[in-house]
Structure 1
Amino acid sequence: MTNPYKSYLSIGEKLDKSKFILATFHLQSENQPPARNASASDAGGFDQTAGGVAAESSVGTWTDVSLQEKILWENLRGRVVELDEKASIIRIAYPLELFEPGNIPQFLSSIAGNVFGLSEVSALRLMDIELPEVYVRSFPGPFLGIDGIRKITGISDRPFLGSIIKPKLGLSAQEHIAASMEVYDSGIDLVKDDENLTSQTFNNFYTRVDEGTKRMKEAGYLKEGRQKIYAYNITASYEEMLKRAEYVVDRGGNCLMMDVLTAGFASVCGIRNRNFGKIIHAHRAMHAAFTRSKQYGISMLVIAKLARLAGVDSLHTGLLPAVFTRDTCLTW
């Protein structure tokens, strides 16, 4: 029996990119054992493993399935359209029909799901994705974007300057907002909660919002067209996030912060789809678990693209290397 994985190779196939999602992977397949009952010519190899990734992330499996009609397989199979064994790079084209519009969890379950557990794979990293316009338009995208943020702040000719209050945990709501006001008074444009400041006993979320919006209004920092930004971290269960988002809006706040990876892309889409009209700022806490290795995981570029689809207006990227490594600070 020949190995069916090689049937997913379509090197050089000409594609209508409006009908496919393209994914670029770093792939290593060292010491790969030959497939069971495979002939010598089919016993392992980089191209076979590349085909395995395409199969597992689309319509394939590890054995023949009698119910899988040829026409169905041909229309829906992932195709390895580029393969560079020396550079350990493959590019897979997925028919758009494989994906539910507006559903990031289903997207990730497909191209970044079981493939990382394939026995043939010794290293795999999803490096980039290319999405056709029809798929992109099935998502909400940012409500404001950079142009909208510049409009509400009145800043059009320079970068925004932001600050995070330290210590990140331990201050009361009053102490935290008092420090924020000093930062604003010094000329900073944005203050954000840190990723693990939500609603602890020492700093209740609702008290922090009350104190923050009150003090900012008194100082004139929420005037139309000249606003300072405060990003309140609403991360929690979805029901509680919705409650917190509505509270920020009711009190006149202008920014909802979410830990997008720990809260989940579906939660981000859910908040964005409520059309609150406020900035959604994304913190990428936990990203290095996926992005730090150059051999395994998912690149920050992919996460950033998905965050934009979900509706994020601004994304936390970190400073230049100081506490964190260069590659975990920057979005590539």
Structure 2
Amino acid sequence: MPQASERYEARYLIETPLDPEAVAGIMAGEQSCGTFIRVQGETDALRDRARAAIIGVEELEPAAAPSLPNAWLDRKAIGGPWRRARVTLSFPVANVGANLATLAATVAGNLYDLGEVTGLRLESLRLPWSFRRRFPLPAQGIAGTRRLTGVPAGVMVGSIIKPNVGLSAAETGALVGQLCAAGLDFIKDDEIAADPDHAPLAERIPAVMAAVRRHRDRTGKAVMVAFNITDETDAMRRHADLVAREEGTCVMASLNWCGFSAIETLRRSTDLVIHGHRNGYGAISRHPMLGISFQAYQTLWRLAGVDHMHVHGLQGKFAQEDAEVVASARDCAAPLTDGTDDRVLPAFSSGQWAGTAPATHAAVGHTDLLFMAGGGIMAHPDGPAAGVASIRQAWAAVAAGRPLDVAAREHAELARALAFFGGARG
């Protein structure tokens, strides 16, 4: 059991027209032992034991206008200046215990509704090892994914299938067979295709895995397929069991919509790789003065036991700046605490193709990653196999320190990708 004195830390960016030091005290009280007035039985000793502590308040440049509306301040006729600060709080582990949902409610709960702030964002979460060890570790993580895909080193290359366009289970199995033959390491379902009427998982999993096994028997290569089993908890467990019986190695879940409890239950019931899809994350992250940064977000989901985390892609189709994508990938590839390898595999996707390989490697600096391309593979003018080849050729060129246009002189697939997709970077 953890010592009563053990604590974890959360850092916030806040905006307020009040004194940031005073607001930090309100935050600490609200999320630990306090309310707006002392209640019966609330002794000084109890407060000392349970209260969150202020570790630091660093004031920043003020804002010209409030980031968010605030009826509480309006009622009190309190206006600017709108002061911004970074606030670091320390919370007693004993207040939470090994309860992920309550941990999340503590560091990212009613704070967002405080009347004293016009902006609040959870930026980071730091845990002591003794607390982290009370939650599940990844069942497979980076090392297990490499073992299961047969890729001991280098980038793992993946793609996405879209059964939601109306493919039947049999048609999806045939497509997976083609993608296996194209040379992929990893194939995943789309996040909006889980258990549709036209291709239910009870039919789709056996059809897909039959294609995977045929490819394995011919080539020795076992391609990893992430079946989207997003659903209520009992259905997720049932479908994970079916994947395991069919010799599959991975399932996928839409983290934000399943919730912590469902993912924790799934983790404890299977040793399959859990591919964590973060769709919906933009709703809690895109505003710079609201929500949760990826460092804190992935910390919470890693406590649930996921093995992979989506980070989007460099130069991709989504709104995130490249710097945010890079920081997210680095967060995934770093242990949460000293003393354990609980790293998870960063999964790059969205607008990726051979031409984004150099920027990705230059920014991330390693190849412990999953590089997924949809159009960059499926839309290659010479077909999916050429698309996969072009990506592998691009990453080989990066590893050798060669510009892509130079490597393309020796590789027709890469040359065609550069000409067709455009925007290559040497």
Q: Which has the higher contact order (CA 8 A, sep 6+)?
A: 1
User: Quick check: 1:23 aligned with 2:17?
Assistant: no
Q: Which residue of 1 aligns with 2:390?
A: none
Residue type of the partner of 2:97?
E
CA contact (8 A) 1:57 1:115 kept: yes
- Deviation by residue 1:103-147 (Cα, 9 ceiling, x = unmatched): 211111112111110100110000100011111111111011111
CA contact (8 A) 1:272 1:310 kept: yes
Matches within 5 A, 1:1-332: 19-30=6-17, 44-86=18-60, 88-101=85-98, 103-166=99-162, 168-220=164-216, 226-274=221-269, 276-327=270-321, 330=325, 331=328
Q: More helix by proportion, 1 or 2?
A: 2
Report SS of the residue matched to 2:22: helix
RMSD value, Cα: 2.1
CA contact (8 A) 2:191 2:228 kept: yes
CA contact (8 A) 1:80 1:92 kept: yes
CA contact (8 A) 2:213 2:222 kept: no
What is the rounded CA distance, in whole Å, between the counterparts of 2:196 and 2:290 in structure 1? 35
CA contact (8 A) 2:9 2:89 kept: yes
TM-score of the two chains, using structure 1 as the length reference: 0.85
* 1:229 shift after superposition: 0.5
What is the rounded CA distance, in whole Å, between the counterparts of 2:165 and 2:218 in structure 1? 25
What is the rounded CA distance, in whole Å, between the counterparts of 1:281 and 1:255 in structure 2? 7
CA contact (8 A) 1:18 1:132 kept: no
CA contact (8 A) 2:163 2:193 kept: no
CA contact (8 A) 1:57 1:112 kept: no
Report SS of the residue matched to 1:161: strand
Q: Which residue of 2 aligns with 1:11?
A: none
* 1:257 shift after superposition: 0.8
* 1:222 shift after superposition: 10
What is the rounded CA distance, in whole Å, between the counterparts of 1:176 and 1:326 in structure 2? 31
* 1:66 shift after superposition: 3.6
Give the percent of matched residue pairs that are identical in Structure 1 and Structure 2: 29
Q: Which residue of 1 aligns with 2:375?
A: none
Q: Which runs of 5+ in 2 are unaligned?
A: 62-84, 332-426
Residue type of the partner of 2:215?
A
Q: Which residue of 2 aligns with 1:8?
A: none
- Deviation by residue 1:257-295 (Cα, 9 ceiling, x = unmatched): 111111011111101111x22111111111111111111
Q: Which runs of 5+ in 1 are unaligned?
A: 1-15, 31-43
CA 1:320–1:176: 2 relative to 1, 3 Å: farther
Q: 179-188 or 84-93, which moves further after superposition?
A: 179-188
TM-score of the two chains, using structure 2 as the length reference: 0.67
- Aligned pairs, how many? 301
CA 1:18–1:232: 2 relative to 1, 3 Å: farther
* 1:221 shift after superposition: 6.6
